[in-house]
A and B are shown apart, each in its own frame.
Chain A
Amino acid sequence: MNNPFITKEVIEEQVVVDPAQVKSQFSRDADLLRVEALHKSFGAVAAVRGLDFRVGQHEFLSIIGRSGSGKSTLLYLLAGLEAPDGGHIYCYGKDCNGRDIVQLTENDLAVWRRRQVGLVFQAFHLIPTLSAVENVAFPLYPEHISKQDRRAKALACLEQVGLAHRAGHRPTQLSGGEQQRVAIARALIGQPSLILADEPTGNLDSQTGQEIIKLFQKLHADSGVAMVVITHDDKVAAAAERILKMEDGRIV
């Protein structure tokens, strides 16, 4: 264990998650996202070519592919951070009712992300001037909730990722694994229907990466939140219930 801040108990707690048990807990009949004929090009380069797939409301989905296969572009499209050239992304989560997020305005997309989607990035993307708990609470700053409530929610999320004891530390005072846990806690604070993770273990050593994946599994098992993890790593992908493979912008 190269991370002195993660206790053995926390890791063991994460290890005991059984995907079979998770499958039995949540129905996968209902869609959370339905993607139809999604296209995205950058100049002459077609990054995403007519994708059709669905994400179940409580599904843990991996999208695997080599560098340049279009998987990160797909994630940004699903998050509404990138506008597609064509196609639809229908959302069936809370308050969505089958709305096509492609049609939403920038502001509506921002609110949708804040309330429905948690994002986890390879580079963590924490705000360096804020402490761990402030980073977790960061998405709630524009909301009209009291500072105390915001902090309480953020601390609860840090508790979920086993990092409550590091609440007051700045990102530079945390290890890579801890920073990614803070980022995951930040993704959880809006109680999203969906967590989108882009190479969440890409900047971590293999052991810490495994711990992060186990944390994803545990969170999925505990709350049933749908997860889409983009990765190029077979081992990471294997943690999911379903794997989609991308190649040259297509699902193969």
Chain B
Amino acid sequence: MNLLFVFNELIRHRSRLLASILSIGIGVALFISLQAYSEAYRNAARVPLSEIGSDIIAQKQGERPLAFEGVVFPHSTSPIHAEEIQAIRELPGVIDIGQSIFFWSFDPAGGYLAGLGLDPSETVGPGRLSSAVRAGRFLLPGERGIAVADTNYAAEKHLEIGETLTVSGTTFELVGFVDTTRAGQVANANIYVPLADAQALCSVAVNVLAVHDFRPTDANIIFVRADPSQAPALSEQITGILGMDAIVTTPRSFDRVLGATFALIDRFGLLVGLAGLVVAVVGLLRTTAAGLWERRRDVGVMRAVGWRQKDVVVQLTLETLFLIGLGWLAGMFLASVTTWTFGFTSITVPIPWELAPTPMMLPGGPLKRGVTMPLAAGINPQIALAALGLALLCGGLVGLILAYRTANLKPAEVLRSE
């Protein structure tokens, strides 16, 4: 084997070299880019949950309020009792759990707000909004009678820190503003109050008690951080505990609502990528075969001057592998450019209706049901290496077969005919 000979042969046939590199490069780029696109979609689908450090959100669908007056539960929520929460906490695979109470409050003058009761000491769920404080401070563990407001809501209602808010007769001092633009979508509310205050509010709310068996230690949304390997099984077990009305949201739920594009990429991305690689290898086969046909005389000379068949096979296969290596580099470059351009596109992850913070019947409600973010695609090193491995395997095999066939040419016939 001689690298100088390999290099000279490749340089000599520049157009063929370029065609081979492009052929492999496009196949590799297609394979890597589709996987990057698919992974970016998958990661985007996880954002609404991952931003609040949760893998599973569980709630129970309940009855419609009899009247939209005072504090009510959206009919996508109903009480989850303390014993049910404890049973879920004890399931294998549950790492941590957070609980909240989500409520709507309608005042007689026609005002509306969405409130969320939370425990600020919890690390799963809306307690993580403490990192999204834009002014003032967040709730502190053990505090009562205070609230923080969403920045947009505060701007809309011209709220100031230190101001007092009244929710169904209970007053709260406003201590800060939080930005819930992304994280808040699945735990979004206009104001956030201590869990104990929310439990107290709901315990006396006529339109809650009229349709729900609410107890002072209950919650109506729980957030579960789970061992990823056990998450699918956990989802089913939680449903088992909460009953047929359970609504369990997982990253897979978001995958489903991302629609047909994602489903196609998710299901057929690997297949299309592999097909691209196969087409690339076929292209390489054609150019390599044509190249070897033109070089029959050289192969005849190799054999005539004393190269063994295996020497010829090694030399020609090395040329093919070298081409694949160059093609892979070109593919990596193309894939880098492609995934970089993905960053200029955005994706809207629809929020399932049951997690929507704003009642659908209110103006603007449906518009808020989605998280829009840039499609952050990147090249996965494992996928890039897999593409190299596949290209080397398929291309190398093709190169080896062609090289073996060429090396078996009868040198006398070739040298006579040239």
**Stretch among B3-11, B187-195, B200-208, B375-383 lining the A interface:** B3-11
A139 CB–B CB distance under 8 Å: yes
- Chain B residues closer than 8 Å to A138, beta-carbon distance: 301-302, 305
Complex Cα distance, B302 from A128, in Å, reads: 13
**Contact pattern, B 182-226, Cβ under 8 Å of A = 1, otherwise 0:** 000000000000000000000000000000000000000000000
**B304 engages A111 (CB within 8 Å):** no
> Which secondary structure dominates where chain B touches chain A?
helix
Contact A186 B305 (CB under 8 A): yes
- Cβ-based interface call for A110 (8 A): yes
Determine, out of A27-35, A61-69, A115-123, the stretch whose residues face the partner at the interface: A115-123
Chain B hits for A186, CB < 8 A: 305
Partner of A125, one of B1, B5, B304: B304
**Contact yes or no, B308 A142, CB < 8 A:** yes
Task: With both chains docked as a complex, state the minimum distance between the C-beta of B299 and any C-beta of chain A, in angstroms.
Answer: 10
B65 within 8 Å of A by Cβ? no
Is the C-beta of A177 less than 8 angstroms from some C-beta in chain B?
no
Are B4 and A110 touching (Cβ within 8 A)? no
Task: Given A127-B298, A134-B4, A141-B1, decide whether A119 and B9 contact each other with a Cβ distance below 8 A.
Answer: no
Is A7 positioned at the interface, with any CB of B under 8 Å from its CB?
A: no
Given A76-B412, A81-B411, A121-B415, A129 and B12 contact (CB-CB distance below 8 Å): yes
Q: Type the 1/0 row for B390-418, where 1 means its CB is closer than 8 Å to any CB of A.
A: 00000000000000000000111001101
**Contact assessment for A114 and B418 in the assembled complex, using a CB-CB cutoff below 8 Å:** no
User: What separation, in Å, do the CA atoms of A138 and B12 have in the docked complex?
Assistant: 17
- Write the nearest CB–CB distance from B360 to chain A, whole angstroms: 73
Please name all residues of chain B whose beta carbon is closer than 8 Å to the beta carbon of A81 when the two chains form the complex: 303-304, 410-412, 415
> Which residues on A sit within 8 Å (CB–CB) of B410?
81-82
A 163-202 binary contact with B (CB < 8 Å = 1; else 0): 0000000000000000000000010001000000000000
Q: Is A79 an interface residue (CB 8 A)?
A: yes
> Can you identify 7 A-B contacts, CB atoms within 8 angstroms?
A76-B416, A110-B306, A110-B309, A114-B307, A125-B418, A126-B301, A141-B307
A129 and B8 contacting across the interface, CB-CB below 8 Å:
yes
Q: Of B12, B302, B412, which is in contact with the most chain A CB atoms at under 10 Å from its CB?
A: B412
Question: Would A125 and B309 count as touching, CB distance under 8 A?
Answer: no
Q: Which chain A positions have C-beta within 8 A of B309?
A: 106-107, 110
What distance in Å separates the Cβ of A82 from its nearest Cβ neighbour in chain B?
4
Chain B interface residues (CB < 8 Å from chain A): 1-2, 4-5, 8-9, 11-12, 297-298, 300-311, 315, 410-412, 415-416, 418
Task: Report yes or no: B301 in contact with A125, Cβ–Cβ below 8 A.
Answer: yes
**B8 nearest CB neighbor, chain A only:** A129
- Assess the B304–A141 pair: CB atoms within 8 A: no
Residues of A within 8 A of B (CB): 72, 76, 79, 81-82, 106-107, 110-115, 117, 119, 121, 123, 125-130, 134, 138-139, 141-142, 186, 190
Count how many pairs of residues, one from A and one from B, have CB atoms less than 8 Å apart in the complex.
80
Q: Are B300 and A141 in contact (CB under 8 A)?
A: no
Quick one: which of A115, A130, A190 contacts B8, CB cutoff 8 A? A130
- Nearest first, the 10 closest Cβ-Cβ pairs linking A and B are A114-B306, A129-B8, A139-B305, A142-B311, A81-B412, A76-B412, A110-B308, A82-B412, A113-B306, A129-B12
**Contact: B5 with A141, CB < 8 Å?**
yes
Contacts of B307 in A (CB 8 A): 110, 114, 139, 141-142
Nearest B residue to A121, CB-CB: B415
In contact, A130 and B5 (Cβ under 8 angstroms): yes
Please measure, in the bound complex, the distance between the C-alpha atom of A128 and the C-alpha atom of B4, giving whole angstroms. 13
Is the pair B297, A125 in contact by a Cβ cutoff of 8 Å? yes
Q: How many Å from the CB of A26 to the closest CB on chain B?
A: 25
Residues of B near A117 (CB, < 8 A) are 306
Tell me which residues across on chain B come within 8 A of A139, comparing CB atoms: 305-307
User: In the bound complex, what is the Cα–Cα distance between A51 and B77 (angstroms)?
Assistant: 103
Give the chain B neighbours of A76 by CB distance below 8 A: 412, 416
**Cβ-defined partner of B5 (8 Å) among A106, A107, A123, A129:** A129
CA distance A138 to B305 in the complex (A): 8
Task: Tell me how far the C-beta of A145 lies from the nearest C-beta in chain B, rounded to whole angstroms.
Answer: 12
Which residues on A sit within 8 Å (CB–CB) of B310?
107
Whether A119 and B305, one on each chain, are in contact in the complex, defined by CB atoms closer than 8 angstroms, is yes
Set of chain B residues within 8 Å of A127, measured between Cβ atoms: 5, 298, 301
- Nearest residue (CB) in A for B298 is A127
- Nearest residue (CB) in A for B4 is A134
* Complex CA–CA separation, A138 to B306 (angstroms): 9
Cα separation A107 to B309 with both chains bound (whole Å): 7
CB distance from B296 to the nearest CB of A (A): 12
**Inside 8 A of B2's CB, which chain A residues have their CB?**
141
Q: Taking CB as reference atom, which chain B residue is nearest A131?
A: B8
Closest to A147 in B: B4
Please, which residue of chain B has its CB at the minimum distance from the CB of A72?
Answer: B416
| Residues from chain A with Cβ under 8 Å of B303 in the complex | 81, 110
Q: Is B308's CB under 8 angstroms from A113's CB?
A: no
Residues on the A chain within 8 Å of B415, using CB: 81, 121, 123, 125
- A100 and B308 alpha carbons, distance in the complex (Å): 19
Q: Report the Cα distance A126→B306, complex, angstroms.
A: 14
Name the residue among B301, B302, B315, B418 with the largest chain A CB count within 10 angstroms. Answer: B301
Which of B8, B304, B310, B410 is packed against the most chain A CB atoms within 10 Å?
B304
Given contacts A110-B303, A111-B306, A113-B304, 19 further A-B pairs with CB under 8 A are A76-B412, A76-B416, A81-B412, A82-B412, A110-B309, A112-B306, A113-B306, A114-B306, A115-B306, A125-B300, A127-B5, A127-B301, A130-B8, A134-B4, A134-B5, A138-B301, A139-B306, A141-B315, A142-B308
Whether the pair A128, B308 counts as a contact (CB closer than 8 A) is no
Of all chain B residues, which has the CB nearest A76? B412
The residues of B that contact A72 with a CB separation of less than 8 Å are 416
Which residue of chain B lies nearest to A134 when distances are taken between CB atoms in the complex? Answer: B4
Among B12, B311, B411, residue most surrounded by chain A Cβ atoms (within 10 Å): B411
Whose C-beta in chain B lies nearest to the C-beta of A79?
Answer: B304
For residue B411, which residues in chain A have a CB less than 8 angstroms away from its CB? Answer: 81
CA A107 – CA B304 in complex, angstroms? 11
B359 → A minimal CB distance (Å): 76
Interchain CA distance A134-B311 in the complex, whole Å = 17
Closest Cβ of chain B: how far from A125's Cβ, in Å?
Answer: 5
